[in-house]
Each structure stands twice: as structure tokens, then as C-alpha cells.
Amino acid sequence: MVVGLKGYARKPGTTGSPFYAEPAGGGTPDGTSQAVFPEKSISLPWVIDPATSWLAYDAWVEVHLDAGIALHKPLPSSDPTSDDLGTTEVGAAEDFTAASGVNVTPTAPFQDVVQRMATPTYLFVLKGFGLRAGYQVPIPFLRSVGLFPAVPGEVQRAYNKIVDNAPGGIPVWFAEWEKWYVVAGLGQGAAAPVPANPALHIRPDAALPLSVQLPWSQSDMRNRPGSSTLRTTRLPGQGSG
């Protein structure tokens, strides 16, 4: 008997599939053959390093600018007529003859006052998603913009949920987030932050290389050294002409 994978035995001279082996006893007492798959008892360790568990990741910061416009409206001494965008009554005969469309003319003869604040307001929105095997996706946060602290504002939204069951019972997590921040006293030299990408293992402040390795392949063995002309391969019986 020849011992095969995982201690199983096979008959000498057999050339069966390498993915199964006969039991050492030669089968069951009734003469039937029961193939035993050795990979059934072989397990592979899954990637437990959190740094290499990322399947997808993307995060970015959107910048919204509030120009700081203040619109002041005067208060009337009496209740004015309410304005409406409509120009004709529903069901009236003139619905099909009126020439105007949307009414944009107010009925009150008052003038609004528009003022601009001294500084605009910059809103920074941290958005993104992540897909990870075995581990939940940590939700990022924005600490500062340049040297200026980022203060959470508006309503923040984030979640983690299981979206798949990988082989072996490994949960696949998906996360998404949208978080708003305001920055007080934003001055010269500030730049919109760019998050790092753990799935691609790259940071926005990574130093650029001085050179990169170009792809290469083995040289053609039929090519004569120092010449760009390929050698002519002649089959037996062919002449030199």
C-alpha cells in the first residue's frame, strides 16, 4: 500500500484523481467504494490581520460654502394678502386662455433688505463607505482643517451592517457615513483634508518615488544580439533560398 494525503492509502499503480483516495481497508465490507476527500479535514487559516481585511474603502470631504447672505424682511402694520404661485383658478374657463404661467409678483409693496456678513461659512462634510471581512468598519471623524478645529454640526449619520457570510462563517461588514462639520476662524493656508485609504494602503501625504519599475519580459530567443531582425526558423527539408 502507498500512503497518500493525510494518511490515506491507495493501491500501487493507480492513477486516480489526486483529490480523493481510497480508504486503507479497500472499501466497505459489501464491496462498494467510498471516496474520501482529504481536503475535508484540511482547513486554511483566514486572514486575521486587521490591516489586510479591507475589501473596499472610500472616504472624501465635500466643502459647502455659505456666502453669509442675510435677508431682512419688514413687518407690515396689517395682515397682507397671501401670495400664491398660481395665476388661474383650477377648473375655471380661463385656464385654457390665460397667457401667464407661474406668478412671481408679490402683492405687498414692500422692499426686502439684503446684507452680506463679514465672513462666509465653510461647511465640511465627511462622507464615505467601507467593506471589510471579519471586522467592523471604524467610522472616521474630522479633527481639524489645517490648524483650525472642526466642530461637529448638523445631524451626523453612520452605521455598520452585515452584508455577507464569507466561507467559514466570516461576517462581511459594510459601513457608510455622512458627518457635517463647521470651522470657526478659517484663515489663509487652510486646505480641504483628503482622507487616507486603508484598502489601497496609501496616504495623501505619501512621498512620491523618484522612479518606478517598468514592466519587462524575457527577450525573444530568436532575436540576434544587436539586431532588430528576427532569425528565420527553417524546417527540415527547406532550402536556404
Average of pLDDT values for 47-61? 88
Residue 66, pLDDT above cutoff 50: yes
Residue % of the chain over a pLDDT of 70: 65
pLDDT-above-90 percentage for the chain? 27
Q: Which three cell numbers stand for residue 207?
A: 512621498
pLDDT over 60 at 235, yes or no: no
For residues 199 and 114, give the distance between their C-alpha atoms in angstroms, rounded to a whole number.
Answer: 48
Look up residue 215 and give its three cell numbers: 514592466
Residue 166 cell numbers, joined: 464569507
pLDDT grade, residue 1 (50/70/90)? very low
Residue in 101, 102, 143 with CA at minimum distance from that of residue 124? 143
Query: What is the mean pLDDT of the segment spanning 185-204?
Result: 83
Which of 112, 191, 129 has the alpha carbon at shortest distance from 163? 129
Q: What is the pLDDT of residue 114?
A: 92
Q: Cell numbers at residue 125, please?
A: 462634510
How much is the pLDDT for 34? 53
To the question of pTM greater than 0.75 for the whole model, the response is no
Question: In whole angstroms, what is the distance from residue 29 CA to residue 33 CA?
Answer: 10
Q: What is the pLDDT of residue 79?
A: 82
The tens digit of pLDDT for each residue in 94-119 reads 556 666 788 888 888 888 999 998 88
At position 126, the amino acid (one-letter code) is L
Question: Is 51 within 8 Å of 109 (Cβ atoms)?
Answer: no
User: Who contacts 94 (Cβ-Cβ below 8 Å, separation ≥6)?
Assistant: 88
Q: In the chain, what are the domain boundaries?
A: 1-42, 50-69+118-183
Cβ atoms 23, 39 nearer than 8 A? no
Please determine, for residue 84, whether its predicted confidence score (pLDDT) is greater than 70. yes
- CB burial string 21-50: b at 16+ within 10 A, e below: bbeeeeeeeeeeeeeeeeeeeeeeeeeeee
Q: Average pLDDT, stretch 144-159?
A: 90
